[in-house]
Amino acid sequence: MVKVLIVDDSAFIRNVLTNMLSSDPDIKVVGIAKNGIEAIEKTAELKPDLVTMDVEMPKMNGIEALKHIMTINPVPVLMVSAVTTEGAKETLDALEIGAVDFIPKNLSDLSFNIVKIKELLIEKIKKIAERGLVLNKINYSPKPLQTPEAKKSTICREIRVVAIGTSTGGPKALYNIISKIPKDFPVPILIAQHMPSAFTGPFAERLNQLSSIDVKEAENGEIIKRGTAYVAPGAGHMGVTGNRMTETSINISADDGKYIYKPSVDLLMLSISANFSGRVLGVILTGLGNDGEKGIRDIKNKGGKVIAESKETCVVYGMPKAIIEAGLADKIVPLDNIAAEIVNSL
């Protein structure tokens, strides 16, 4: 039984979340709190397996409450964030402090897509609670890794592009990895992180501030460049057009409902594999579900390389598990070592 504490100053949101979670026999809402002060007290008293935490609340906001909880009674915290640019920045702050993930507080979605939202929320809460708190500190390397000298590979042809896919727990994992990539990194990096459209721009900006390479939210039609990381916009899906023999550009397509998750990791990996046959390094990080498995299989079948994050550092061991159990991973690596493995794979 997963014990959940719901923290929100809105009675409506508290009731919606309580009703959603209580519909699952394996989840029990053990308490509610209306502000950060109550959240701290009830976390200590009720000892929940997971806390859902609103950001903006009276008396004490969710960010301050999170700081206290992570210091005194560490527990997995899922932020409930407004779908705005400001809400995105606050949520990114929360992830750096110790929150494991977030869910968007989008009332318009609640009105017409409540079944899908409920299913994803319940699955996410159960998987996070099952795993417990993974204390992956955001590790900004004071000494950027050195790009290795060009060498012949016995595994595959020369890598021309790196594609990274991730979901739950991904922002902190990407902070760890991208901040360590050296400024002279010789190929582009394309990233699909499951995230709402209001969040991907601020997230790319935050990554850029922490990194030696340039990081930006991808734009439709722009030419990809070496030493730059492109974050897929949450409004659709990201792929590429072209290959190493021509100028390769970003292609942002609208969400047509074909893919469960947005932006899709599978679509990104399949597109890159089709255009850079055998010259792709695919990386799968922490995340719910199996998005990326089809794309990674195509990369592998065409002679590319694959890295999967190891179980011990995943917030949710779903996406990497699918890759590993399918026998598609060349390397299974803990989070702190993935940046070095990416650099050494070129």
Q: Which of 211, 291, 298, 345 is catalytic?
A: 291
**Strand (E) or helix (H) holding 161:** strand 161-166
CA dist 329 and 337 (Å) reads: 15
| Residue 344 phi, psi dihedral angles, 5° rounding | -75, -15
CB-based contacts of 261, cutoff 8 Å, min separation 6? 167, 194, 289, 291
Q: Which of 194, 264, 271, 298 is catalytic?
A: 194
The residues with which 249 forms a beta bridge, in sequence order, are: 223, 241
Q: Which amino acid is at 3?
A: K
Q: Three-state DSSP class for 316?
A: coil
Q: Which amino acid is at 63?
A: I
Q: Which amino acid is at 311?
A: K
CA dist 323 and 150 (Å) reads: 28
- Reply yes or no on whether 194 is catalytic: yes
| Residue 287 phi, psi dihedral angles, 5° rounding | 170, 155
Q: Which residue carries 């009830």 as its tokens?
A: 42
Nearest to 82, CA basis, from 187, 9, 170: 9
Q: Which of 81, 167, 179, 277 is catalytic?
A: 167
Q: Which residue carries 């942002």 as its tokens?
A: 252
Is 68 within 8 Å of 42 (Cβ atoms)? no
Strand-strand pairing, 101-105 and 27-33: unpaired
- Reply yes or no on whether 167 is catalytic: yes
Sign of the torsion formed by the C-alpha atoms of 157, 158, 160 and 165: positive
- Reply yes or no on whether 291 is catalytic: yes
Q: Where are the alpha helices (DSSP H) in the chain?
A: 11-22, 36-46, 62-72, 85-97, 107-112, 114-131, 170-178, 197-210, 265-275, 293-301, 319-325, 335-344
* Residues labelled catalytic: 167, 194, 291
